[in-house]
Amino acid sequence: MADVTAPQQPSLNPLPQPLPNAMPQPMAQRWQEHWQQRWYPVAYLEDLDRRRPRAFTLLATDLVLWWEPASGRWRAFADVCPHRLVPLSEGRVNERGELECPYHGWSFAGDGACTTIPQATAEQAASACASRRSHCRAFATAEAQGLLFVFAGEAGRAGAVPLPLVPPLDEPGWLVQGTFRDLPMDALTLLENVLDVSHVPFTHHRTVGRRDNAAPVEAELLSQGPEGFTALWAEGPRQGRLGSQHTTFMAPGLMWHDLTAKGFGRILTVVYATPIRPGECRLFARFPFQFSSALPRLLVGLRPRWLQHLGNHTVLDDDQVFLHWQERALASRGGSADYDRACFLPTGADLYGRQLHRWVREVGGVPFPGQPLPPRQLSEPLLERWHAHTSHCHACSAALTGIRRWRPTLLAAMASTLLLFVVVPQPGARAGLVALLMIGGLLLRQLAQWERRLLQGDGQAPRNRLPRLGAWTGKGGRAAEW
């Protein structure tokens, strides 16, 4: 069940708004209804630290997330102190369980009210704390399905808007894996990509797809409306070997594929696209499984979360660079308004993207109307992982700390082993020491690879890996896959 928290007194402090002043009124109303007055996931609950505030940007508004011990709830404020406008996310949760500004120590309760002004006399403090100008703007928050949600609009309206949840996940028996990452692309670009079932055999060849599984996609639209659409791919992935796949798009930022694979179990692919600012979004990807037998569940559950995230990074890197470039090409050709003219869409496989952009044109508009995308970046910054994921992920940051802690210990052990090799004369013992040195060298190499992958992608898409020299060729002289 969702646990929704709306503040008692929303502050009157102004916030920077993503809407340009010159936006036509109908466009502004459409944006407010379909983008601003909505709930968005901002973090997995397991990645939040109750001892420390955390910054997040939602729809170009900077937020600070913090845990209030007195209420036992996560709170979300505008990340700006009303005193001198510094970010509250640089502060702390003090001994009274209140959010304390790092600049002058002003403190704030969970409803945003200022409780302490150290520089004021008792009389001044009473007057200033009673003023609405001393309050932080507080946003409604909710916890559900392992995620922390924030309502981007007026907190008083949050209760009337349902959380964007995946109904099947309320059923028992799921093993749910998930990841997140801040991506250098618009939320709509991400959604178009994950809705598109036909790119998997090619873009993700050698990660989660294979080119020889490609086949015509005849998708059927089942329903559509202001809140999204549903579709059915009757044949399903891998040329029908896995069964039919149902797809749901819940506007503005949630989609999932639902597939029951023969002899394996039920699999969902769930993606939230939370808009950060123009050209940036946070991906929340979830992979729930209901296995037909116990062994797959056991094997999947044994894999550490941080190792699973490294695999997820590889899949995301498959298309991250070209999607960042693609959205700028589409913007230069008119964006969603001219999507059907800008892109040549002759097959049924493009139904998902066409329906998404139809929703944009006819219902919701874009998350940042009138605002251009930032300049295109080169590949290396697009594949950065420390700021985009690792620093915010409890499992991956702990793994990185562990790797850096154990490396000196391993080096010291190898140095001791080498010293023993010098002084021990017996051939058998020396052979064992050589084996230990080799194992230590392999471990050092593996630690270095893990550290690099937690910080940065290498840009080497597995799909483009060349065959080994001398590999045999198949029909037509084409190099065989390996």
What class has domain 167-379? alpha beta
Residue 468 pLDDT more than 80?
no
pLDDT tens for 285-304 read 999 999 988 888 888 888 99
Please say if the pLDDT value at position 152 is more than 60.
Answer: yes
* pLDDT tens profile 120-149: 999 999 999 999 999 999 999 999 999 999
Q: What is the mean pLDDT of residues 5-27?
A: 50
Check pLDDT > 50 for residue 14: no
What was the pLDDT predicted at 424?
Answer: 85
pLDDT at 3: 61
pLDDT > 90? residue 411: yes
Q: Produce one character per residue of 219-248: b if its CB has 16 or more CB atoms within 10 Å, e if not.
A: beeeebeebbbbbbbebbbbeeebbebbbb
pLDDT exceeds 50 at position 11: no
- Tell me the C-alpha distance between 309 and 390, whole Å: 9
Residue 282 — very low, low, confident or very high, per pLDDT cuts 50/70/90?
very high
Q: How far is CA 158 from CA 5, 41, 164, 272, 368, in A?
A: 9, 14, 12, 19, 21
On the question of pLDDT at 320 being above 90, the answer is yes
Classify the C-alpha dihedral 281-271-6-65 as positive or negative: negative
Please say whether the beta carbons of 308 and 451 come within 8 A. Answer: no
Judge whether residue 231 has pLDDT over 60: yes
Task: Return the pLDDT at 17.
Answer: 42
Q: What's the confidence (pLDDT) of residue 482?
A: 43
CA distances from 390 to 107, 178, 451 (A): 30, 14, 11
Give the pLDDT score at 466: 87
**Mean pLDDT (whole number) for 106-130:** 96
**What is the CATH code of the structural domain delimited by 3-160?**
2.102.10.10
Provide DSSP, 1-17.
--EEE--SS--------
pLDDT at 234 over 50: yes
By C-alpha distance, which of 445, 357, 438, 448 is closest to 404?
448
**What are the structure tokens assigned to 23, written together?**
């936006």
Average pLDDT for the chain: 92
Q: Which residue has the tokens 């850096």?
A: 404
**DSSP characters over 347-375:** SGGGHHHHHHHHHIIIII--SSTT-PPPP
Q: Tens digits of per-residue pLDDT, 65-89?
A: 999 999 999 999 999 999 999 999 9
Please give the Cα distance from 188 to 293 (Å, whole number): 37
Q: Percent of the chain beyond pLDDT 90?
A: 85
Whole-number percent of the chain with pLDDT over 70: 92
Q: What is the DSSP letter of 132?
A: G
pLDDT of residue 6: 61
153-163 pLDDT tens trace:
999 999 999 99
Q: Are 233 and 244 in contact (CB under 8 A)?
A: yes
pLDDT tens, 342-376? 999 999 999 999 999 999 999 999 999 999 999 99
- Residue 430 confidence (pLDDT) above 90: no
**Per-residue confidence band for 20, with pLDDT thresholds at 50, 70 and 90:** very low
Same fold, 3-160 and 167-379: no
Helix (H), strand (E) at residue 309: helix 305-332
- Sign, CA dihedral 323-325-330-336, equals positive
| Least-confidence region, from 26-30, 193-197, 199-203, 233-237 | 26-30
User: What is the domain partition of the chain in residue ranges?
Assistant: 3-160, 167-379, 394-461
Largest CA distance in the chain: 88
Question: What's the average model confidence in pLDDT over 175-188?
Answer: 97
pLDDT band at 2 (very low <50, low <70, confident <90, very high): low
Which residues lie below 8 Å from residue 177, measured CB to CB, with a gap of 6+? Answer: 286, 287, 288, 289, 300, 305, 308
Residue 191 has pLDDT above 70, yes or no: yes
